[in-house]
């Protein structure tokens, strides 16, 4: 009886807790745009600027997950936050401050990019993301893993319309 109970418990709990979110490299035709869409503060007096194709050149990855919003799920493409910060040389900062086009700001702790595959999405279903759909750049966490990643207090870190990133040491 006890064994049966345990088995039933695991069968119910498994799909909720042990889901996997796969991240794989993908190749897509670069978009023709040289417009700067992202500015990263790299040091006290220096910045790095990125166009859409420059971001994707860092290493385009595909991730499939749901989000916290209705009709907002599926394939997201972009670069791992870890790779982007590494490219700018600020991956060792203890936090980053992310500012969006609407003035929204949020802090993201280093643990997030070290421990999790957090994506800075440049595309949804392979297409550039318009501002009204939370683009052109937005954070996508691997929510379907479950646990902490699916906790609704994580939503404050799902910044959309990302404009600038700066290290907080």
Ligand X SMILES: Nc1nc2c(c(=O)[nH]1)N[C@H]1C(S)=C(S)[C@@H](COP(=O)(O)O)O[C@H]1N2
**Residue closer to ligand X, measured from CB, 28 or 134:** 134
Instruction: Give the binding range for ligand X (CB under 6 A) out of 9-17, 43-51, 76-84, 151-159.
Output: 151-159
Say whether 26 sits in a helix, a strand or coil: coil
Q: Sketch the per residue contact string, 48 through 87, with ligand X: x for CB under 6 A, - otherwise.
A: ---------------------x------------------
Count of residues near ligand X by CB under 6 A: 10
**Residue closer to ligand X, measured from CB, 17 or 102:** 102
**Nearest distance from C-beta of residue 7 to ligand X, angstroms:** 38
The answer to whether 122 touches 77, Cβ cutoff 8 Å, is yes
**Residue closer to ligand X, measured from CB, 50 or 160:** 160
| Residue 155 engages ligand X in binding (rule: CB under 6 A) | yes
Task: Kindly give, in sequence order, each residue whose CB lies less than 8 Å from that of residue 52, ignoring residues fewer than 6 positions away.
Answer: 30, 31, 33, 35, 37, 122, 128, 136
Q: Report the distance separating Cα 42 and Cα 154, nearest Å.
A: 26
**Residue closer to ligand X, measured from CB, 28 or 156:** 156
The answer to whether 135 touches 128, Cβ cutoff 8 Å, is yes
| Residue 161 engages ligand X in binding (rule: CB under 6 A) | yes
Sheet with strand 162-168: strands edge to edge = 46-51, 36-43, 162-168, 95-100, 105-109
Write down the H helix ranges in 80-158. Answer: 81-88, 110-115
Q: For residue 84, report the phi and psi dihedrals to the nearest 5 degrees.
A: -65, -45
Q: Which two tokens stand for residue 24?
A: 């794989």
| Residue 104 engages ligand X in binding (rule: CB under 6 A) | yes
Q: Sketch the per residue contact string, 2 through 41, with ligand X: x for CB under 6 A, - otherwise.
A: ----------------------------------------
Positions in the binding site for ligand X (CB under 6 A): 69, 100, 102, 104, 155-156, 158-161
């Amino acid at each position: 009886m006890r064994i049966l109970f345990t088995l039933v418990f695991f069968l119910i709990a498994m799909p909720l807790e042990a889901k996997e979110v796969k991240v794989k490299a993908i190749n897509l035709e670069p978009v023709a745009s040289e417009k700067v869409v992202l500015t990263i503060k790299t040091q006290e007096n220096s910045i790095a600027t990125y166009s859409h194709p420059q971001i994707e050149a860092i290493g385009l990855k595909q991730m499939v997950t749901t989000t916290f919003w209705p009709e907002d799920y599926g394939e997201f493409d972009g670069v791992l936050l870890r790779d982007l910060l590494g490219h700018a040389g600020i991956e060792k900062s203890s936090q980053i401050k992310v500012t969006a086009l609407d003035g929204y700001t949020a802090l993201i702790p280093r643990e997030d990019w070290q421990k999790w595959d957090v994506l800075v999405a440049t595309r949804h279903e392979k297409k550039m993301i318009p501002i009204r759909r939370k683009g052109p750049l937005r954070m996508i966490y691997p929510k379907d893993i479950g646990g902490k990643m699916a906790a609704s207090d994580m939503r404050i870190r799902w910044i959309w319309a990302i404009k600038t990133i700066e290290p907080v040491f």
